[in-house]
Structures are given as structure tokens and as C-alpha cells.
Structure 1
């Protein structure tokens, strides 16, 4: 029987990079579906697309953190904050699009 501590140690040693790349595959399928459905507002669709920019910028900033500071991205606050700002932007566009859609539906129902 494997102890919880040894299991956690084993999991901590696994490189997450392949999982990160593999997670893009279903997201690209989602984007393909989202572009075809009229139910998703255009602004929200742009937010979903910008999530890929967040991924790209995170990779770039992670490489910079490693090369310039010999450290992980999460340890370099200015680079980490800059990368997260792209996620904030994409999330904001998704939220704005769906909030506008909800407001339009409230007006039609009243």
C-alpha cells in the first residue's frame, strides 16, 4: 500500500507540461463549436479566443523568468502579474458578453 506522503511526492515530481499542452486540444474543439453557435455573444467569443493569448503569454513569461531570473514564473511577481492580466482581460470579455446577453433577454421578457 502506498502512503499518502509517497503518493504526493510522486505526483509532485511529474512534469505538468505535457498535460498543459494536451489540455489545449479540447479547448480548441470548444472554440470551433463556439464559433459556429449563435448562442455565444461575439464579445464573449473574443474572450474565449484571448484565453489562448493568455496561454501563449504565460509560456513566454515562464521562459523569461527561467532565463532571466533562473526561477519559476510564480516567483517573479511582475512577470506573473503581466501573464495573469491576459487572463483577466479574457475573463472580463466573456463576462461582459454574457451580461449583455442576459440584459437583452430581460428586456424582451418584460
Structure 2
């Protein structure tokens, strides 16, 4: 059986491929793209935070509230960027449609 750590590491490759493709799409909203890249920042922060929790507290990251919450801030920021980016894209599309109808 494959360990969760191995599965997690392997899952990064498809995500990196996804980022590579969407970063080349002219239709991808820049702010949303930054949100997708922010997810990588979240992963980059969470891994050392999890190691610190294990070494310093002998616990999983999820059990150390202040450390877990601090890492989750990066995921929250990434999600906000995604929502704002796609919201902006939808508004731009609606505005261009209404301009064409006028």
C-alpha cells in the first residue's frame, strides 16, 4: 500500500503540470493564477510546519492550533485570490457582452 506521504509527493507533479498549462492560457485571469500558485505557497509552508509540530510537540500539525491556523492562512489567501480573479473575469465578460449588445 502506498503511504500518504508518497501519495502527497506524487500529487504535486500533476498540479505542477496544471499550473504550467494554465499559466500559458491568455484566458486565465492573472489574479486567479496567483491564487493557484498561492496553493503551492501553502504547501511549502505546511510541510515545514508539520515537521516542526512533529519534532517540537510530538504531534500532528492539525493538533497544534496556533501552528495549523498560521499555515491555513496561506490557503485562505490563495482561495481569496482565486475567487476575486474569477469574479473579475466574469464581470469583464458580462461588460463585454453588454457593450456588444449596445
- Cα-to-partner distance string for 1:56-80 (whole Å, 9 max, x where unaligned): 1110110110111010001000111
Deviation, 1:50, is: 1.1
Deviation, 1:15, is: 3.1
What TM-score, normalized by structure 2, do the two folds share? 0.91
Name the residue aligned to 1:3: none
Name the residue aligned to 2:8: 20
Q: What RMSD in Å do the two structures reach over aligned CA positions?
A: 1.2
Equivalent of 2:44, from 29, 36, 56? Answer: 56
Aligned equivalents of 2:96 and 2:34: distance in 1?
A: 25
Unaligned runs of 5+ in 2: none
Whichever of the two has the greater Rg, that structure is 1
Aligned equivalents of 1:30 and 1:69: distance in 2?
A: 35
Over 4 Å off, 4+ runs: none
Name the residue aligned to 1:33: 21
How many equivalent residue pairs? Answer: 98
Unaligned runs of 5+ in 1: 1-10
Equivalent of 1:45, from 33, 40, 47? Answer: 33
Within-5 A mapping of 1:49-88 = 49-88=37-76
Aligned equivalents of 1:82 and 1:15: distance in 2?
A: 26
